[in-house]
Amino acid sequence: MKRFFKPVEKEGSFKKPALSAPCASAPVDGGIAGAEGEGEAGGKPEQKDPLKFLTWNANSLLLRVKNNWPEFSRFVQSLDPDAICVQEVRMPAAGSKGAPKNPSELKDDSSSSREEKKVLLRALSSPPFRNYHVWWSLSDTKYGGTALFVKKQFQPKKVSFFLNRAASKHEPDGRVIIAEFESYLLLNTYVPNNGWKDDENSFQRRRKWDQRMLDFVLQLEKPLIWCGDLNVSHQEIDVSHPDFFSNAKLNGYTPPDARDRGQPGFTLAERDRFSKILSQGKLIDAYRFVHKEKDMERGFSWSGNPVGKYRGKRMRIDYFLVSEQLKDRIVACDLHGHGIEQEGFYGSDHCPVSLELSPETLEPNAS
């Protein structure tokens, strides 16, 4: 979620390289070592597609590497997800000033960017991350950006970076990574924040995005697992203080249309468009499918600054949405942070969210 309420930490010069993908389906390992194709041993049937997933808005992956990596690494080691989707990577794409950028590769054409790339690569070459292939979709600047980590035993059929998957380009600001597996599509998105005004970078941008998402889910040829920072709290149960968020204003400004009023992510207009995407796309909110009741301790994925008027104000804006065909395979969907002191957030203002599916079962042949 766009940071209106929490000061952004300064990123100074750091160290570390990144990964690059020479083509849409090629991961960038950046020299990361790890046993290729580490599969299940002992006679178990081979698992062909990922079943355990993690999504996290890191609010700067580099800052998390510098400040929170041991704790986050232990968490990932314990959870052992097959695929990890990250939003707000906030590392710039490769390419010198004024030249075309390569959103699949990390910038390394200056001493500071080379150092930052080095820091990141060192972290990703250590357990458990060295066991994953990595794909990037990056912005031109330290803004936005997404990453997809997939265990090396799994190989996507195709990886693309634009909602129109036939296109070879990336979405602006690196907002999308789509991995096609045998039995489903995995979509990782960092959805644009609605903002506070009806201009081209706020309400208008979000309306266009929501329409494109609706078009996307209506044209699917496979079941979908859609995750990430979706920047919307669907219902009142998904925010800690509904009245506070419904009446929120920036600098006293009130949008003329009542449906656009309130906290970005909790306006009636956004929530209604999200409902339409879910219903017409036949998508299930996996967390709400499992957890029916409001949970004031563990039921929110974003938490406001612990100092100031947003202290204790929380929203659930990070999701796993799955096609109806997959709902009976949902084993668990959990938010891994809790409390107004942001325990389990690992330095971000978002906590990780996980999903586990049961293996696909083959229907017996009808006689």
Helix/strand/coil for 225? strand
Tell me the two tokens of residue 12: 């100074």
Give which of 141, 147, 135 is closest to 89, Cα–Cα: 147
Is it true that the peptide bond before 128 is cis, omega within 30 degrees of 0? yes
Catalytic-labelled residue, pool 184, 190, 310, 319: 190
Tell me the two tokens of residue 149: 């980590």
Cβ-contact 226, 283 below 8 angstroms: yes
Helices and strands (H, E) in the chain, number of each type:
7, 16
Verify whether residue 132 is a known catalytic residue: no
Verify whether residue 140 is a known catalytic residue: no
Cβ-contact 320, 226 below 8 angstroms: yes
Q: What kind and span of H or E run contains 260? A: none
Catalytic-labelled residue, pool 29, 229, 260, 318: 229
Verify whether residue 198 is a known catalytic residue: no
Helix/strand/coil for 329? helix
Q: DSSP E strands: which ranges in 223-329?
A: 224-229, 283-285, 302-303, 314-315, 318-323
Q: What are phi and psi of 73, to 5 degrees?
A: -60, -40
Helix/strand/coil for 326? helix
Q: Which residue ranges are tagged as binding site for Mg(2+)?
A: 57, 88, 229, 231, 349-350
Report the relative pairing of strands 52-57 and 83-87 from DSSP bridges.
parallel
Q: Distance between CA atoms of 136 and 147, rounded to whole angstroms?
A: 5
DSSP 123: H
State which amino acid sits at residue 172: P
- For the beta carbon of residue 183, count every other beta carbon within 10 angstroms: 13
Catalytic residues: 190, 229, 350
